[in-house]
Amino acid sequence: MERATNFAKPYSTRLFFQTVIARAYPRVIGAQREKSWMFFEIFLPLLAVSAYVFVYRAIGAPETYVGFVVMGGAMTAFWMNILWSMSSQLFWEKEQGNLALYIIAPNSMMAILLGMALGGMLATTLRAFVIVFVGGLLFEVQFTVASFSALFGTFILTMVALYGMGMMFSSLFLLLNREAWHLASLAQEPIYLFSGFYFPLKSLGFWLAAGASIIPLAVGMDAMRQLVFPSGPSLGFLSVPIELGILVILSVVFLVGARYLLAHMERLAIREGRLTDSRR
């Protein structure tokens, strides 16, 4: 009887968190075992960031823009993580044959996605922090943080919305085949452009910037820049409280959307026989 009751409630809270930790574990520990990431994901991006810094110096830009580039360059790590390690991850798991195992195991797919998100976020935060720290030192960026708690809160809220978006995309990518690679690859430079990774968001003009605000990194980064650079507020798109409000809305929409889309896509994928499908 007790066994039957347990069977009827497979997604216990304990199992949920065990699944989250189990999926986050390889992200954090596995990546540390493969030391080459330090070179490819910290050193090389730092050089790429430096190139944009020198472009600004070549055209005589104010030093604030150098700080903008360093911060934007660090945040690219999160977007890459969302694209390649969240959005296309379920597609990749399907290609590897792991997805069917996830589905037949008595755990929640949301827990798996959350584990992927948390693991990726932790590992990527370390990379982003190193890029900001080293970039800040190399280019003598002046950070003037008025409120660390506000900055930390904005960062966390940005991450929640961003990884919520990643969780939602990952369920959408379940229905894709080879185009998943191409779509993920396509979503790099255009997002760097419309999110203002290397320049103030408001340079795009009001309507373009407003449209780009659906991308959590665009508004999150704009708010963080206003909080860490003395001239940040004058280059900000909207005031920080409004941007925080947008981030809250995005967080809720993306997380709820991820929950429903995942369930819907899982059903659709099962019905259309795509869970073990690998169209190569």
Partner 1 sequence: MSGTTQTSWRSQGELNIRESVRSFLTAAWLGWQIESNWTDPFLFAVYSVIKPIAGAAILVVMYGIITQGAFDSPLFAYIYLGNAFYIYVGSVMTGVSWAVIDDREHYKTLKYIYVAPIHVPFYLVGRGVARFLTGTISVLVTITAGVLFLNLQLDLAAVNWPMFFAALTLGIVMLASMGLVLAGVTMMIAHHVWFIGDAVAGALYLFSGAIFPLEVLPNWLRPVGFAMPLTYWLELLRRAMVGQVAASFPTLSQLTDGQLFVILIGLTVVFGFLSIIVFRWCEHQARERGLIDVVTNY
Binding residues vs partner 1 (CB under 8 A): 26-27, 30-31, 34, 36-37, 40-41, 43-45, 47-48, 50-52, 54-61, 65, 80, 84-85, 92-93, 95-96, 98, 119, 177-179, 182, 185-186, 188-190, 192-193, 197-200, 203-204, 280
| Three-state SS annotation for 128-152 | HHHHHHHHHHHCCCCCCCCCHHHHH
Residue 65: DSSP 8-state: H
Distance in Å, CB of 180 to partner 1, minimum? 9
Task: Using the minimum distance from each CB to partner 1, give the nearer residue, 4 or 59.
Answer: 59
Task: Using the minimum distance from each CB to partner 1, give the nearer residue, 12 or 96.
Answer: 96
Distance in Å, CB of 62 to partner 1, minimum? 8
Count the Cβ atoms, other than its own, within 10 Å of residue 78: 25
Distance in Å, CB of 40 to partner 1, minimum? 4
Distance in Å, CB of 18 to partner 1, minimum? 19
Task: Using the minimum distance from each CB to partner 1, give the nearer residue, 11 or 84.
Answer: 84
Q: Which two tokens stand for residue 122?
A: 């932790």
Considering only CA atoms, give the Rg of the chain. 20
Task: Using the minimum distance from each CB to partner 1, give the nearer residue, 125 or 177.
Answer: 177
Distance in Å, CB of 16 to partner 1, minimum? 21
- Please, where are the H alpha helices in 34-147? 36-38, 44-58, 63-80, 89-96, 98-104, 109-138
Give the whole-angstrom CA distance, residue 98 versus residue 80: 22
Q: Which residue has the tokens 């999926």?
A: 23
66, 56 contact by CB (below 8 A): yes
Task: Using the minimum distance from each CB to partner 1, give the nearer residue, 22 or 253.
Answer: 22
229, 144 contact by CB (below 8 A): yes
Task: Using the minimum distance from each CB to partner 1, give the nearer residue, 89 or 251.
Answer: 89
136: CB partners within 8 A, 6+ apart: 67, 70, 143
